Chains A and B, each alone.
Chain A
Amino acid sequence: MFRFILRRLIITIPMVIIVVSLTWGLVRLAPGNFYTGEKRIPPAIEKNLREKYGLDKPWYVQYARMVKNILMLDFGTSLKYEGQSVNSILARSLPVSATLGLLAYLLALVVGVTAGTIAALKQNSRLDYASMALAMLGISLPNFVLGPILVLIFSLTLFILPPTRWGGFPSVNLILPVITLSALYMAYIARLTRSGMLEVLRADYIRTARAKGLSEKDVVFRHALRGGLMPVVSYTGPALAFLIAGTVVVERIFVYPGLGTYFLNACLNRDEPLIIGIVAFISISVLLFNLLVDIAYGFIDPRIRY
């Protein structure tokens, strides 16, 4: 187990560098610059700007410098936001996105697993069909439709919840964005749980447990859930990583100063250090979360040994 973890950690470094290098290449290829604006700047000022940010050096020098920064986890200074280091931007925006993401996923887990389990237990009943139909709706309805609808009802008609803005944790400002964000995951997890549980509930050891005379509650919670949640666990790893990294649409609708907002604007602004910093962070998160999920497998499923 320990060697497995170590191996995975070591391989993270070259993988992150590959991802970051590809991103760097794409950003360089994209037309336009961080200083391109509606009003053209005179060539002499453009030269000054490029010198100021070290863009006048040959591309391999800039690439080498970027890789060195990544390895030292110092992502440099933003090109667009004068004087703000990428690390400070990450430190500021990550808690916002993480809070939003974690709360949304928690809600999705609680509601989704419950709904999926009940649906699996009462298969082919009206409850099953209703919850799966609702899940279908949750998956199909984009969050840029759901969000504004919720805002329209609760903020602009009933005036009971604020329509935008981050209010810290805990605050009423979190209610609408968390619901909007969790809808898709809730639905997905419900379906995953249902199919996972259905498979497990047919297994022999469950039949044995029931034959032994265990209560339905014990059968479900002590025996079935462990196996039934496997699909959910594998889904959780990358889903959580991306959720924490920020969801652009929800952050834009509710004007949250999170990682997603910064990421989108960095791409549109061609703010290279910020783009690289966020991409590096996301890839490290995804790799780490996948590792955590794999470790969790080892505990949940006794058949898996490292």
Chain B
Amino acid sequence: MRIFRSSQLRLGAGLLALALLIAGCSASAKNQVYFGKVAPPSDNTLHYVSGSEPESLDPQIGTGQPEARIYMSIFEGLTEYHPKTMEPIPAIAERWDVNKDSSEFTFHLRKNARWSNGEPITARDFVYTFHRGFSPKLASRNAYLGYYIKYAQAYNEGGVFVRDKKTGEFLLVKDFKEGAAKTETPAAEPASASSSSAPDTEFNKIIKSPERVVLPGDEKERNKALEADAKLKAAVEGKEFVEVKATDIGVEAVDDYTVRLTLTQSAPFFLGVMAHQFFRAVPQKVIEQYHEAWTQPQHIVTCGPFKVETWKPYDKLVVVRDPMYWDVARVKLDRIAFYPSEDNPTTMNMYKAGQVDAVLNHTVPAAWLDMVRPLKDYMDAPEVAIDYYQINTKKAPMNDKRVRKAFNMAIDKDALAKWRRIVKPLTAFTPEGIFPGYPQPKGDAFNPQKAKQLLAEAGYKDASGNFDPTKFPINQVEITYNTQESNRIVAEFIQAQWKQNLGLTVPLKNMEWKTFLNMRSKVEYSGFARSGWVGDYMDPFTFLNLFYTPAGDNGTGWWDPKYVQMLDDANSELDQAKRYEKLAKAEAYLIEEQPVIPLLTAATNWVKKPYVKGMYPNPQTLHAWKFVYIEQDSSKWDQGVPDMQKRAGEFGPDY
């Protein structure tokens, strides 16, 4: 008995101590203003979790956002992203001119830009960058971003021109399109050549001439294309095929400090794409000398505000301020240390313990939101990203538009957004509130009655004409998503919504990421597949573009030439407001056809220490690192989300 009691006593004492410890933890949690330790580093180094391990330091190879954040520290392009609004601001190009219909961009480079080894950066470096980026040997996955540049796609895909052996003339597109060709470049008029702010050159005359026909370089593909078009086949007879070379692309170094881009069609949003990592300058001599090994720390040469100091993969990448950078006076940080971490709770632990000063977006796990969201270092702002469910429009019963609309209407998106807490409900296909001045259409509202009615109309009804859930082929439909906590809880919520509002229980199916991608892109799923899209640039077109072709990122099997026409129409519109109206009309058409179920506009959801300034929760969570600094004076620290209003001259006289 005595022994029993003493061990009981010990157990009781142990439990009491544990309880006190836990109480102490939660008590201290209630009083905290920020999440975890707040002690600014004394060495003027920013410690940042960028995301997963970068696959390469080559800006034309790495495709993800984690890589983008690193590239933005060591490479610069013609333009850079504004820290708050993502608008293009001068970088290596100090100013630019766009012709009237946005089919020609002329960039004037500053004369004091230098590589990290001291050599000057010239227009020829950018021509090399573009040529290399589109080269089929490099096989860059981001090359598609530049396909608006004339013949870039042809070169990248290994296409060929068709040339008459005797006259040396190329076969032209306009000879094959009837009427006013939509592909006929407006630059075919001599007037626009003079609207360029740079002098006309031989190359310019050639590139502005009417567009040439491009055929696949692979003989089998080419013959297939020729068999399909008799007129084309006849015209090709007796002519020779000339490989499209890098020098045929619409990029020109007019002189040492002027770069001119010629596009295949009007693309007013194209300027916003120029800050993408794919278009950042890469050093020709180093690449030609070391080939794939050029990015190793002992060889790499960079052009950004920082340069590579040390790199231990999966451990730490340290970049140090580059004294050769043209704007080095404005760069306040001495170093940035990038840490790769793929586990969100681990990243948050690093942040809490003070090992890192800021983290990337989407890091706060759903279960932690209640605790972290009210704190003053939580960054909450809308993102240029949407979540939606793709619908396989080729398989019954989803090939019936009424069925698709019914399922869309049977989800209470406001409830979904409220339950997720950090997102906004979405009924259309572009993120809400991101594009100022864009008259975004509204999709169907939550209406379970109408949903049931539509399903009845589609044929799933009982004798009295009301919707009968038992008649619906539920075994043909499921929700497929890649295995991840956030996807699962959303899928379960939607499953519950449909059960509640339609009486249908749609089964859930989850699988590993690449397996899922494979299935989704081949449109092999039944019913719905979870999807999301982050904008490549700040224009609604980056979302509406997804349905431009039936293949690619479409994933639904839906395609309508009328929609494509509406998009092309909008892009050739010179007036910005009218263009937005036309894009909105195209978007309205898209959501009326309902090949997708829009769910929500994402939110940034990350944390940064209050002493990190110049870093903003912008819509892409991409930071121009030269503006970031560590504030030692605690009275100047950020109390919550910093002011996102754009103020002229805030970051410098020319921004």
Contacts and interface: CB of A to CB of B under 8 A. Distances in A.
Interface of A: 30-33, 35-42, 44-45, 47-49, 51-52, 77, 80-84, 89, 92-93, 148, 151-153, 155-157, 159, 162-166, 252-257, 261-262, 265, 268-270
Given A159-B37, A159-B353, A37 B63 contact: yes
B462 interface: no
Contacts of B36: 156
Contacts of B553: 39-40
7 contacts: A38-B517, A44-B157, A163-B346, A165-B316, A166-B315, A256-B314, A269-B514
Contacts of B552: 40, 42
A157 B25 contact: yes
Given A30-B514, A81-B56, A157-B25, 9 more contacts: A39-B553, A42-B157, A47-B218, A48-B139, A153-B21, A255-B343, A255-B346, A262-B314, A268-B514
B55 A80 contact: yes
B521 A40 contact: yes
B342 interface: yes
A99 to B, nearest CB: 14
Given A42-B144, A82-B295, A163-B353, A30 B313 contact: no
Interface of B: 21, 24-25, 36-37, 53, 55-56, 58, 61, 63, 136-141, 143-144, 156-158, 218, 292-296, 312-316, 339-343, 345-346, 349-350, 352-355, 512-515, 517-519, 521, 532, 551-553
A270 B55 CA distance: 13
B158 A44 contact: yes
Contacts of A270: 514
A33 B296 contact: no
B141 A33 contact: no
A183 to B, nearest CB: 19
Contact of A44 (B37, B61, B156, B314): B156
7 A-B pairs with the lowest CB-CB distances in the bound complex, closest first = A32-B514, A257-B314, A44-B157, A83-B292, A82-B56, A48-B139, A49-B139
A45 B157 contact: yes
Most B Cβ at <10 Å: residue of A38, A252, A257: A38
Given A36-B518, A82-B55, A82-B56, A151 B349 contact: yes
A52 B137 contact: yes
B434 to A, nearest CB: 19
A239 B47 CA distance: 36
A163 B349 contact: yes
B514 A33 contact: yes
B141 A155 contact: no
B58 A82 contact: yes
A152 B29 CA distance: 13
Contacts of B339: 165, 255
B314 A164 contact: no
Contacts of A51: 139
A252 B313 contact: no
Contacts of A39: 63, 141, 144, 553
B141 A45 contact: yes
B313 A45 contact: no
A82 B355 contact: no
Contact of A164 (B136, B313, B341): B341
A268 B512 contact: yes
Contacts of B37: 159
A48 B136 contact: yes
Given A32-B515, A164-B355, A268-B513, A155 B349 contact: yes
Most A Cβ at <10 Å: residue of B61, B158, B313: B313
Given A32-B517, A155-B353, A44 B136 contact: yes
Most B Cβ at <10 Å: residue of A83, A84, A156, A270: A83
A82 B292 contact: yes
Contacts of A151: 349
Most B Cβ at <10 Å: residue of A45, A77, A92, A162: A45
A40 B314 CA distance: 26
Contacts of B61: 82
B143 A32 contact: no
A85 B218 CA distance: 32
A60 B559 CA distance: 40
A35 B141 contact: yes
A40 B156 contact: no
Contacts of A152: 25
Given A80-B55, A83-B293, A159-B353, A92 B313 contact: yes
A156 B349 contact: yes
A38 B140 CA distance: 15
Nearest to B62: A82
A175 B282 CA distance: 43
A153 B24 CA distance: 11
Nearest to B154: A44
Contact of B353 (A42, A83, A162, A166): A162
A81 B313 contact: yes
A82 B296 CA distance: 10
Contacts of A31: 514-515, 518-519
Nearest to A255: B341
B522 to A, nearest CB: 9
Contacts of B551: 40
B517 A52 contact: no
Contacts of B294: 83
A51 to B, nearest CB: 8
B45 to A, nearest CB: 15
A148 B139 CA distance: 41
A247 to B, nearest CB: 15
Contacts of A153: 21
A298 to B, nearest CB: 40
Nearest to A41: B141
B295 A83 contact: yes
B143 A45 contact: yes
A162 B47 CA distance: 14
Nearest to B54: A81
Given A44-B136, A156-B353, A83 B53 contact: no
Contacts of A93: 314
B518 A45 contact: no
Contacts of A38: 517, 532
Most B Cβ at <10 Å: residue of A82, A93, A152, A261: A82
Given A48-B136, A48-B137, A253 B295 contact: no
Nearest to A32: B514
B355 A165 contact: yes
A131 B61 CA distance: 55
A83 B355 contact: no
